[in-house]
Amino acid sequence: MATANQTRPAASTKVKPAAQTTATTPAQEQERMRWADFNSASFAGRVSHVEIINGQHGEYAAVTLITRLSDGLDGIAVVFNDAGQSLSLAKRGYLPVGRGLHVSGTIRGFESHYERGGVATPLQRGRIRLSGVTLTLGALPRNDRD
């Protein structure tokens, strides 16, 4: 019979051999990068511009959302093209200018300048480009007659 002062034998632990490191090919690195989620972001703001465009790959909605930064300055423009949910909402009139919108997606790029005649000119607002977006509708714009 075991007494209170006796300790149990330690459970046997197996030590795993160190993983062998193998060099990865650029294709393996690219595959790993496709699944990374470090570049996903969500923004809340108001619709600034919506345009339905008939491009070479079909019809899509080009949407610009303006969101304010925490310092209260001009904010940034969040732009995305979408042939799914955004196009359907735009066609039915649910994306008027001024509508509150919450958008989540993958960041494709950021622009702060554009080039005109070989000279870099700053944009009025920085521009973040998103892809693979999901929308949540917010408040409609205030009607001035109310």
Q: Are 131 and 86 in contact (CB under 8 A)?
A: no
Q: In the chain, what are the domains?
A: 33-137 (2.40.50.140)
Q: What is the mean pLDDT of each successive set of 10 residues along the chain, which is 146 residues long? A: 50 49 62 63 93 92 91 85 92 92 92 89 91 89 62
- Per-residue 3-state assignment (H helix, E strand, C coil) for 39-74: CEEEEEEEEEEEEEEEECCEEEEEEEEEECCCCCCC
Q: How distant, in Å, are the alpha carbons of 27, 40, 83 from that of 125?
A: 36, 21, 25
3-state SS assignment for residue 133: strand
**How many Cβ atoms sit within 10 Å of the Cβ of residue 102?**
15
Give pLDDT, residue 54: 94
Supply the pLDDT for residue 32: 60
- How confident is the model at residue 102, as a pLDDT? 94
Q: What is the pLDDT of residue 141?
A: 80
Q: Residue 64's CB: how many other CB atoms inside 10 A?
A: 18
Name residue 51's beta-bridge partners: 62
Spacing of C-alpha 26 from chain mean position: 25
What pLDDT score was predicted for residue 90? 94
Q: Where are the beta strands (DSSP E) in the chain?
A: 40-55, 58-67, 76-82, 100-116, 119-137
Query: What local confidence, expressed as pLDDT, does residue 33 receive?
Result: 58
